[in-house]
Chains A and B, each alone.
Chain A
Amino acid sequence: MSRDEAYNFAYLDENTKRMIRRALLKAVAIPGHQVPFGAREMPLPYGWGTGGIQVTAAVLGPRDVLKVIDQGADDTTNAVSIRRFFHRVAGVETTTRTSEATVIQTRHRIPEARLTEAQIIVYQVPMPEPLFRLEPRLAETKRMHALADYGLMHVKLYEDIAKHGHIATSYSYPVMVDGRYLMSPSPIPAFDNPKMHRMPALQLFGAGREKRIYAVPPYTDVRSLDFEDHPFRPHRAKAHCALCASCTSYLDEVVTDDRGGRMFVCSDTDYCETRQAEQQKVAAA
């Protein structure tokens, strides 16, 4: 389908794209630093990925292949509607295959397949400030970032250990980028944090309501905060995927009845389907 000519390419006007592009370049130059930008009103409400959509619109070109995931799945409302939106306003090809995509917009997951240098991953971010639960004043958190004063976050993790015996943060687990900036990885499970470390793909983050953009360049150190005696441990359900039997992917728990029945399935639908197709091929041969 060709694009809807009533809109400028990729929906945003050129002035807005230029402003977002300038913010993106500064964000890449200062890894992990939140750059303010003039987020526009988008044709969907805050919380549905307006930040990610604006970043995607600013980078997307007619030759790109776009994949959109929501909690790992290609077939949920958010993912389907954003994919259809860009198909309509930019006429770009869309895909559900991680390996075929050049731009991947994601809500709260990183695909299981290793991303490559030819790809850009765009995260939708509800709250870019990792310190906001500890310090509500933005002027103060700005100063803490300027001084790299992150003691408060270490105290929070220490209190977790004192109360629960372990760090009880399973998503949105704070990371240090290139040893300088404390950054929210967006609400991805802590399981995905290690994938951000020295990832070959460029990682861009957009927060529409909070009007912030930040980025992690390729091959940049991203360390999850921890202590020597309580090292970072990503959590994964101790089970196999009921569909593809994967014992390494991140699993969603699905309740199947009201008598305690449950099953675990891969959160990354493309990864799971690819594995099932391979298994069927092997079984047929």
Chain B
Amino acid sequence: MRPGFTDPVQDAQSCFRAVLEAMSRPGRVQVLPDGLNPPAALHPATAAVLLTLADAETPLHHDAGAEADSWLRFHCGCPLASPADAAFVLAAGQPPAISALAQGSDEEPERGATLILQVSALETGHGWRLTGPGIAQEHRLWVEGLPPGFVAEWRAQRACFPRGVDVILCAGHRIAALPRGIRIEEG
């Protein structure tokens, strides 16, 4: 079994601040520190985000294979669930449809799932044009490795606001986030 965080308290805090920064300034890329050596199916950023946020109270669904499964269950202690019931959904391969995940209700939209998407690259300065809360004018974000229908699916869920799914994109040590209220234009 590979180890988790070297210092669970401080590492979780600095990772959380990176995720909070990513979520409050969508499209800005945060770089997480080195030091985590998770199973091969998980990028270091994916592993750090789950170690920081998932525990026994958060059902998890993932497609990352057996080694990642036992690693996540040992370090996070999270129960496994179907995509529709999971609080965190990790997609290392083909992601499930956004509409197949928990959306929350109009009264309790916070029950919508968090989708952690493992992608091959995240770059700023070109690509999508993001607008919405957290963004002064617009942020540009280039994401490599998403299925072609993602933006159309995102648009469809945007119409259901405040219900919806929040996305954390992970590539290597880099993360960016797409909270549900963000508008994406392909540019």
How far, in whole Å, are A31 and B109 apart by their CA atoms in the complex? 11
Instruction: Select one of A15, A143, A180, A217 contacting B24, CB under 8 A.
Output: A217
B186 at the interface (CB under 8 A from A): no
B35 at the interface (CB under 8 A from A): no
Are the CB atoms of B162 and A180 closer together than 8 Å?
A: yes
Residues 1-37 of chain B: 1 if any A CB is under 8 Å from the residue's CB, otherwise 0? 0000000111011101101100111000000000000
Measured between beta carbons, the chain A residues less than 8 angstroms from B12 are 14, 17-18
How far, in whole Å, are A220 and B52 apart by their CA atoms in the complex? 27
If the complex has contacts A21-B52, A146-B105, A202-B24, are A217 and B134 also in contact, measured as CB distance less than 8 A?
Answer: yes
A23 at the interface (CB under 8 A from B): yes
Are the CB atoms of A31 and B181 closer together than 8 Å?
A: yes
Measured between beta carbons, the chain A residues less than 8 angstroms from B25 are 117, 217-218
Are the CB atoms of A30 and B162 closer together than 8 Å?
A: yes
Are the CB atoms of A30 and B52 closer together than 8 Å?
A: no
Instruction: Select one of B13, B24, B108, B112 contacting A218, CB under 8 A.
Output: B24
If the complex has contacts A21-B16, A29-B23, are A145 and B179 also in contact, measured as CB distance less than 8 A?
Answer: no
B118 at the interface (CB under 8 A from A): no
How far, in whole Å, are A18 and B51 apart by their CA atoms in the complex? 10
B161 at the interface (CB under 8 A from A): yes
If the complex has contacts A9-B9, A218-B24, are A25 and B19 also in contact, measured as CB distance less than 8 A?
Answer: yes
Are the CB atoms of B17 and A35 closer together than 8 Å?
A: no
B114 at the interface (CB under 8 A from A): yes
Identify which of residues 45-97 in chain B touch chain A, using a CB-to-CB cut-off of 8 Å.
52-53, 55, 57-58, 87
Best-buried of A19, A22, A181 by chain B (most CB within 10 Å): A22
B133 at the interface (CB under 8 A from A): yes
Are the CB atoms of B20 and A24 closer together than 8 Å?
A: yes
B110 at the interface (CB under 8 A from A): yes
Are the CB atoms of B166 and A29 closer together than 8 Å?
A: yes
- In this complex, what residue of A is CB-closest to B76? A18
A234 at the interface (CB under 8 A from B): no
Measured between beta carbons, the chain A residues less than 8 angstroms from B162 are 30, 33, 180-181
How far, in whole Å, are A117 and B136 apart by their CA atoms in the complex? 11
B43 at the interface (CB under 8 A from A): no
Instruction: Select one of B14, B53, B135, B179 contacting A29, CB under 8 A.
Output: B179
Are the CB atoms of B181 and A178 closer together than 8 Å?
A: yes
Identify which of residues 172-226 in chain A touch chain B, using a CB-to-CB cut-off of 8 Å.
178, 180-181, 198, 200, 202, 215-220
B140 at the interface (CB under 8 A from A): no
If the complex has contacts A146-B106, A180-B162, are A18 and B10 also in contact, measured as CB distance less than 8 A?
Answer: no
The 3 tightest CB contacts between A and B, nearest first, are A29-B179, A146-B106, A217-B134
**Which A residues form the contact surface with B (CB < 8 A)?**
8-9, 14-15, 17-19, 21-31, 33, 35-36, 58-62, 117, 142-143, 145-147, 178, 180-181, 198, 200, 202, 215-220
